[in-house]
Structure 1
């Protein structure tokens, strides 16, 4: 099957999903089918991430965010290892799609790990966001405060 056909099939699965709130199991099956049909398609990964995120399945959202991060890195022609990326590798503070997507994927990884209680895993992703975009155009600082509030609530 041609790549475009695989993508079309995957997007059909997502478009025909019954809805995360009304039928989460049916939607999960549709997301799984879409991922099987086109695992290397950015729109499919974004759809899968959103489904898992909005259904609070953060453990399932993490691999989707990792895939999105890798795809964005490839589009930007920057190191695959996010720890090796430097601020001058791309225009991270500019209003361009790929750098913004890269930052949002880092934030997504931080958020999901923190929601899973893995603050030590999530924090380096946030640190990288602040290093790459000191203007904080995606308001990642709010995530730090929310994560700390969640951590404090857990200690009470």
Structure 2
């Protein structure tokens, strides 16, 4: 994709990070490391070390995965962000009792359109991040499939997947 592509709001939103559902069971020390990672964001090695410490204390915890995803995403380390997005998808599928293959998740599996349904939203945001990163890394067909799945699960497009679909449809066209 061209470097001029502007990212839509793909970060997993703050409500998900602070949700009691996603934050439950996070050890205090892991939470401390997440906090320290945020404070030292400008110091890559230190921030990443704190994130890895949090991960060692709470492996697979959604809050830690989200922290890792955001760090790699905003640092432009997109391949690493994609790896974490895959882990977020698996975590979200497990938390929602969905198939671990996102392609097999159906709209009837959850009430995806309800804002207050944090766990299904975590799945949608994870899939959106996955789709966006696939597109950015040149895997446009995989990105398109994920965007189409988002629109199947969220037909009213509360998650904003149509923005990504629009980008896919405009790819290869001149800017004028």
Q: What CA deviation, in whole Å up to 9, does each residue of 1:65-108 have, x standing for no partner? A: 12222222222212111111111011111121111111111100
SS of the equivalent of 1:152 reads coil
Residue 53 of structure 1, aligned match among 53, 70, 73: 73
Counterparts of 1:120 and 1:37, CA distance in 2:
37
Match of 1:122 in 2: 143
Note the C-alpha offset of 1:131: 0.9
Q: What CA deviation, in whole Å up to 9, does each residue of 1:35-81 have, x standing for no partner? A: 22222211011111111111111111112212222222222212111
Match of 2:22 in 1: none
Counterparts of 1:37 and 1:153, CA distance in 2:
48
Q: How many equivalent residue pairs?
A: 149
* Structure ranking higher on relative contact order (CA contacts 8 Å, 6+ apart): 2
Counterparts of 1:138 and 1:122, CA distance in 2:
15
SS of the equivalent of 1:68 reads helix
Q: Which runs of 5 or more residues in structure 2 are unaligned?
A: 1-24
SS of the equivalent of 2:112 reads coil
TM-score (norm 2): 0.76
Match of 1:108 in 2: 129
In terms of fraction of residues, the more helix-rich structure is 1
TM-score (norm 1): 0.84
Match of 1:34 in 2: 54
Do the aligned partners of 2:144 and 2:168 also contact (CA within 8 Å) in 1?
no
Counterparts of 1:13 and 1:76, CA distance in 2:
27
Point out 4+ residue stretches in structure 1 off by more than 4 angstroms: none
Q: CA RMSD in A?
A: 2.2
